[in-house]
Chain A
């Protein structure tokens, strides 16, 4: 399957979805005005990937800022992983800076709302 790479901009994150390297990562900043359009290709890609995923899929979120518009799309991404989990061993890792209690709280919120294994990882 073709990998999906979206370069970061000043208000949208870097996206790497690369089954060959087994890297699935959303990082940096996500505060676009129109989050719906931005995350559409990601959700479409995951829908295809769910058909024949890798044996293991570790999906990493390493985000510095997430605005509310993005937070609704990020949960869609995580829910799509539930579908992937039917054929793959899925783990979600949510990184947050130790001093950023809001990112920690958001991670905990997602963890509570989804059924895939969800790990919060504190970074310095």
Chain B
């Protein structure tokens, strides 16, 4: 293992974190879409939306519905293409909240010869107003002629109807056979429903998803989450990782490590920025034989010394010393607060079987951006 391994991931943590502000969030899954993962993604997204939409259950339902259609769209296209190809060109699903707007984006490969028909469908849908869409939808239901596979066309119509918006799309040609098909739906909150349109602002948001997809492809990131770190999101992320059961040994190890890593952030983070949890960024990717887990969040200046002291202390011990130390803290009931003893860091180091890497960045007079990174070696 070279010391540089994963250092590039340190470099991208803060720029990724800065992509969003305030109560916004973005969440991207990249990889193969199984039924199980689709279910977990929906759950995670729904949890996050519920946190910020409050009483607007119509909006929440609308977003949920469009996510379902978007994810089904991916799996439908995926089914038509050989596994090897979808592995080479993994798809993505993204949900973003930007102020009063929600964006649901998907990116997946389609065969080049399917594009003209797909584009025609999209353009037809985009040319219709809400009333016409409703009529068109009814026609499709009765004649069912639009798509061989039954739902594809209907799904697109429904996405447009539920969002009250045009569908934004883009094609990125990959080779002679395949093209990435990006689709984005903008969902405005109730107050502006029906008024918004696919504007130039929308296009820049689709570009931002494409950019993110490119970056995730380059760094081989499988999961990227930017938003509130809280117990609900931790559990949902955990469920998604568990959904990737093609490598059970590694999956369990990654889950065990991730629980400690994220709970550590929830405990140490600077809470002032949001009542919904700690704002932070978490991403997981594969570098060679390692699954790298990187998390970043803002802490107060005062916390920096305490954290680095504990990390150095834990990193400085041999395996045996660490194991003895762990026993000692387990049995030390005077210090009820596990956070004060470095139990979490010790546990992380024992489970990942390597020193913990970290970095602090000065971001303003009072705060630091704190990045913690560890890895799990792929075993099976």
- The answer, yes or no, to whether A101 is at the interface (CB within 8 Å) is yes
A112 to B333, CA, bound (A): 18
Residue pair B252, A109 in contact (C-beta under 8 Å):
no
Any B CB within 8 A of the CB of A121 = no
**Residues B231 and A11 in contact, CB atoms below 8 Å apart:** yes
- Chain A 18-49, CB-CB to B under 8 Å as 1, else 0, gives 00000000000001110010000000000000
Is B276 part of the contact surface with A, judged by Cβ < 8 Å?
Answer: no
Q: Which residues does chain A contribute within 8 Å of B331, judged by CB atoms?
A: 75, 113
Taking a contact as CB atoms under 8 Å apart, the answer to whether A102 and B344 are in contact is no
Task: Report whether B330 and A71 are in contact in the complex, using a CB–CB cutoff of 8 Å.
Answer: yes
Nearest neighbor of B342 in chain A, beta-carbon distance: A68
- How far does the Cβ of B253 sit from chain A's closest Cβ, in whole Å? 7
Residues 308-348 (chain B) with a chain A CB within 8 angstroms: 323, 326-327, 329-331, 333, 336, 338, 343-344, 347
Task: Kindly state the separation between the CA atoms of A64 and B280 in the bound complex, as whole angstroms.
Answer: 26
Q: Are A109 and B235 in contact (CB under 8 A)?
A: no
**Which listed residue, A10, A33, A36, A100, touches B336 by the CB 8 Å rule?**
A36
Contact: A33 with B231, CB < 8 Å?
yes
Chain A contact-residue range equals 20 to 34
| Known A65-B259, A68-B347; contact A97-B252, beta-carbon cutoff 8 A | yes
Question: What is the interface of chain A mostly: helix, strand, loop, or mixed?
Answer: helix
**With A11-B231, A33-B266, A36-B336 known to touch, is A102 a contact of B253 (CB < 8 Å)?**
yes
Whether A113 lies near B259 (C-beta < 8 A) is no
Partner of B330, one of A10, A11, A67, A113: A113
A99→B333 contact, CB < 8 A? no
Closest residue of chain A to B335, judged by CB? A72
Contact B259 A67 (CB under 8 A): yes
Highest count of chain A CB atoms <10 Å: which of B238, B256, B333, B347? B256
Chain B residues within an 8 Å CB radius of A69? 263, 338
Q: Which residues of B contact A68 (CB under 8 A)?
A: 260, 263, 338, 343-344, 347
Contacts between the two chains (Cβ within 8 Å), count: 60
A82 part of interface (Cβ distance < 8 Å): no
Q: Which residue of B lies closest to A35 (CB)?
A: B338
Residue A88 lies at the interface, judged by CB distance under 8 Å to chain B: no
Is B217 positioned at the interface, with any CB of A under 8 Å from its CB? Answer: no
Known contacts A72-B338, A75-B330, A100-B252, A67 near B235 by CB under 8 Å: no
> Are B343's CB and A99's CB within 8 A?
no
Interface assignment of B40: CB less than 8 Å from any CB of chain A: no
Residues of A within 8 A of B99 (CB): none
- A54 near B: Cβ within 8 Å? no
Q: In the assembly, what is the distance between CA of A75 and CA of B256, in Å?
A: 19
A56 to B60, CA, bound (A): 52
Quick check: A102 and B235 within 8 Å, CB to CB? Answer: no
Asked if A102 and B256 sit within 8 Å, CB to CB, the answer is: yes
CB of A10 within 8 A of CB of B235, answer yes
Taken together as a complex, chains A and B put the C-alpha atoms of A29 and B265 apart, in Å, by 20
Q: List 24 A-B contacts (CB under 8 A).
A: A11-B231, A11-B235, A31-B263, A33-B267, A65-B259, A67-B260, A68-B260, A68-B338, A68-B344, A69-B338, A72-B329, A72-B330, A72-B333, A72-B338, A75-B331, A99-B252, A102-B252, A102-B253, A102-B256, A109-B327, A112-B327, A113-B327, A113-B330, A113-B331
Residues of A within 8 A of B (CB): 10-11, 31-33, 36, 65, 67-69, 71-72, 75-76, 97, 99-102, 105, 109, 112-113
